[in-house]
Amino acid sequence: MGPSDFMNSDVYLRTAISVESNGWAHFDKVKMPDYRWGIFLAKPEGNRKISFGLHMGEPVWQEVPGEHRSTLRRLIVTQGDTEPASVEQQRLLGHTCPSLYDLRNLFQVNIEEGRHLWAMAYLLHAYFGRDGREEADQLLERRSGDIDKPRILGAFNESTTDWLSYFMFTFFTDRDGKFQLAALAESAFDPLARTCRFMLTEEAHHMFVGDTGIQRVIQRTCELMISKDTDNIAPYGGINLDTIQRYLNFHFAISLDLFGSEISTNAANYFTSGIKGRYKEDKIDDNHVLSNLAYNVFKLESGKISTSAEPALTVLNERLRDDYIEDCNKGIYRWNKTIREHNINFTLQLPNRAFGRSIGQYRNNRFTPDGALISTTDWNNMKNTWLPNKSDQNHIKSLMQKVVEPGAFAGWIAPPRRGINGQPISFKYVRLS
């Protein structure tokens, strides 16, 4: 299920060894099959109480209450299913790595997603009896993109064919994971909450890989634009800013779909019963029950998107999506800073949330990146300027050449500012066999 080949290579990997915040990880050259999956749950908080919903103030659950068993099992299976899926999607990328540094980061993310699968399988085995064990087996039987046994969520059945897509995936799609885990980290089911809290410490590195990966592509693009004095640097082996914008549009839209429908009675029930909270629940200043509270969301009515106050309990998916969009914008801000530092007049932007959606209220209509409703004819005429087109894809494909000299980087991406764990950039992060 994991990376194709490289099983005999020594990889400079981080292994989680404890849940203490100082010294939780250990770095060493390890062959991937020798990487050991530990089970880590953040330390129990003595007397932790349920912090939201109908059971607020009661002690958290150390066992699964019978009435929430199937719901909790389904949430754990859905989360668990995404973890190996991304590894399967990325399994060929090692062959076109832009450097040993990037190859190492890819494998680091891959083994940790494997550990996250194990963390979810552990919960299924330890707390859900026979049906839990059967679900855990099925996690191993499904495969990304398999016609008969695909992964559960659509975005996890597309293969990741190039490194620009990979960096976009770790920035946008791993970040969906961060928000789902953060919401589950509030759960009244304490073993799940503690497991998710520890997973979040590893997940931060995955988003770092995406964030800095795109930043380095932009850095290189800007350097080429200046030295060649043109916006079209594709002939010089770089990636044009408008191509980057199109990849961004695509990955943002499919990641937004992962949050589900705007209005959701399931999400309301998860919250009320204490199964899944909000992002940073304890930092929110309200009654944490959400009865009689409203929340402003965008609503599509007679072709126009406007804001509307809705019962807060029914729009929790949209609220989590809002938190996610805010977090994404911080990355876009940093990327634009790199462009500005080169005195280049171009601004990357997140498209409107209605753009390119397949789930929720926007799914049956077409919208511009600015959020204007358009006809299917207009969409078909314009989509190649908004989403990765054939010429983008062919160009990106042509750039995907393996670079494995220590300290060397492919021409379409700048080196990172620093190496991993204090090592130099030219460190031999992977010893190929």
Residues contributing to the site for Fe ion (CB under 5 A)? 83, 113, 116, 174, 203, 206
d(CA 282, CA 276): 13
Residue placing its CB nearer to Fe ion in the complex, 173 or 219: 173
Cβ at position 263, least distance to Fe ion in Å: 28
Backbone angles phi, psi at 297, to 5 degrees: -130, 165
How many CB atoms are located within 10 Å of the residue 121 CB? 24
Residue placing its CB nearer to Fe ion in the complex, 213 or 274: 213
Cβ at position 116, least distance to Fe ion in Å: 4
Cβ at position 113, least distance to Fe ion in Å: 5
d(CA 16, CA 201): 10
Residue placing its CB nearer to Fe ion in the complex, 68 or 91: 91
**186, 276 Cβ separation under 8 angstroms:** yes
Residue placing its CB nearer to Fe ion in the complex, 53 or 80: 80
Pairing of the two strands 25-31 and 10-16: antiparallel
d(CA 9, CA 31): 6
- Largest CA-CA distance found in the chain, in angstroms, rounded: 67
Residue placing its CB nearer to Fe ion in the complex, 51 or 90: 90
Cβ at position 257, least distance to Fe ion in Å: 18
d(CA 74, CA 77): 5
Residue placing its CB nearer to Fe ion in the complex, 35 or 298: 35
Cβ at position 318, least distance to Fe ion in Å: 23
Cβ at position 203, least distance to Fe ion in Å: 5
Residue type, 24: W
Residue type, 132: G
Residue placing its CB nearer to Fe ion in the complex, 181 or 224: 181
Cβ at position 83, least distance to Fe ion in Å: 5
Cβ at position 421, least distance to Fe ion in Å: 19
Residue placing its CB nearer to Fe ion in the complex, 68 or 206: 206
Listing DSSP states for 211-246 in one string gives HHHHHHHHHHHHHHHHHHTSS--GGGT---HHHHHH
Residue placing its CB nearer to Fe ion in the complex, 199 or 414: 199
Listing DSSP states for 90-152 in one string gives TTTGGGG-S-HHHHHHHHHHHHHHHHHHHHHHHHHHHHSHHHHHHHHHHHHH--TT-SSS--S
Cβ at position 209, least distance to Fe ion in Å: 9
Q: How far is CA 424 from CA 97, 207, 328, 421, 429, in A?
A: 18, 21, 29, 9, 10
The whole-angstrom distance between residue 165's C-alpha and the CA centroid of its chain comes to: 12
